[in-house]
Amino acid sequence: MTRLLIWIFFWGLVLGCDCTKKPASYLAAEKKTDVAYGTFPSSKMDVYLPANRNAQTPFVILIHVGSWVSGAKEEQTPTQDSLLAHGIASANINYRFADYSQVHYLQLLADIDSAVNFCINHAYEWSTKKENFIMSGFSAGAHLALLYGFTTSRKISAIIAESAPTDLADTAVLNYETKIGMIPVVEEMVGEKYVQEQPLAPAFRAASPMYHVTEIPTLLIHGTADYLVPYSQAVNLDEMLTSKNITHKLISIPGANHDCNINVSATRTMIYKEVVGWTLEYGK
């Protein structure tokens, strides 16, 4: 009789369960803003997590524009919103600005690494992946995305770089940046002075993604009329990646300036489509 009562109780629980409830594994979308990932005042990130994510959900690290000396993560918020709408996780980061004293490209890369490490350490809490991040950036952020992706020991699954400086050891480019008044920010980032007709400091080459390429699928987007970062920078990196048989794609935007005509609706839609497509293809 006791055994019969136990079975009746057990089946009563099973049949009486509320089967309309969502599975325990369901996760709602989340937006976490100004999350501190390090000890510097600038060490803040916005983290967007899509609904029902898991360890296979693509995760993008976004790095903002600003010539290495200005800017803010909010400039990448529209891209972050687009990624979230397509079920992609992302961390949109601020970082220290370069200066002539102590903060140069190595320190900026260290900030990015701290942000990636923070995401790794919170992967269980967020139900996100611990490796195979995608690095993405615009202009100075694109340069850092390339340089970090090509030089880090962490496993990076893909890179997306829009309007990226790629070869800062190209004296023709340095002379052009001098002409348009941009050489001071290059010097601050590199940590060395550029003097025409004098030997180039090794740091200019060390800070150039061109000389560190490795086998990471890389998407390049660049306007053919870019007045700040010559279009040739994208073409030369494209040729380097081709010579090494590395998966990549160069999207050239005819007549577009440094902003890639992002404010033109059709162009913006095309760019976001390419970014999302690259992320979904290589971000697993």
User: 3-class DSSP state for residue 20?
Assistant: coil
We report the CATH number of the domain holding residue 132 as: 3.40.50.1820
Q: Is 5 part of any domain?
A: no
Reply yes or no on whether the pLDDT at 80 is more than 50: yes
Q: Is 9 part of any domain?
A: no
Q: Is 255 part of any domain?
A: yes
**For residue range 134-171, what is the model confidence (pLDDT) as tens digits?**
999 999 999 999 999 999 999 999 999 999 999 999 99
CB 75 within 8 A of CB 139: no
Q: Is 258 part of any domain?
A: yes
Residue 56 binned pLDDT confidence (cut-offs 50, 70, 90): very high
Cα distance between residue 214 and residue 216, in whole Å: 6
182-214: burial string, b at 16+ Cβ within 10 Å, e else: bbebbbbbbbbebeeeeebbebbbbbbbbbebe
How many structural domains are present in the chain? 1
Cβ atoms within 10 Å of 165's Cβ, excluding its own: 31
Reply yes or no on whether the pLDDT at 227 is more than 90: yes
DSSP 49-88: E-TT--TTS-EEEEE--STTTS--GGGGHHHHHHHHHTT-
pLDDT for the residue 25 = 57
Which amino acid is it at 209? P
Q: Is 124 part of any domain?
A: yes
Reply yes or no on whether the pLDDT at 14 is more than 80: no
Average pLDDT over residues 162-183: 98
pLDDT for the residue 284 = 85
Q: Which residue has the tokens 């709602």?
A: 28
Q: Is 123 part of any domain?
A: yes
**For residue range 238-264, what is the model confidence (pLDDT) as tens digits?**
999 999 999 999 999 999 999 999 999
Inter-CA distances, 73 with 64, 94, 157, Å? 6, 5, 22
Cα distance between residue 283 and residue 116, in whole Å: 15
Domain span at 67? 25-282
Reply yes or no on whether the pLDDT at 15 is more than 80: no
Secondary-structure breakdown of the chain: helix, strand, coil percentages, each rounded to the nearest 5: 40, 15, 40
Average pLDDT over residues 185-203: 97
72 Cβ neighbours under 8 A, 6+ residues apart? 64, 66, 94
Q: Is 13 part of any domain?
A: no
Residue 129, judged by CB atoms within 10 A of its CB (0-12, 13-18, 19+), counts as buried
Higher pLDDT pick, 21 / 99? 99
Mean pLDDT over the full length of the chain = 92
Q: Is 6 part of any domain?
A: no
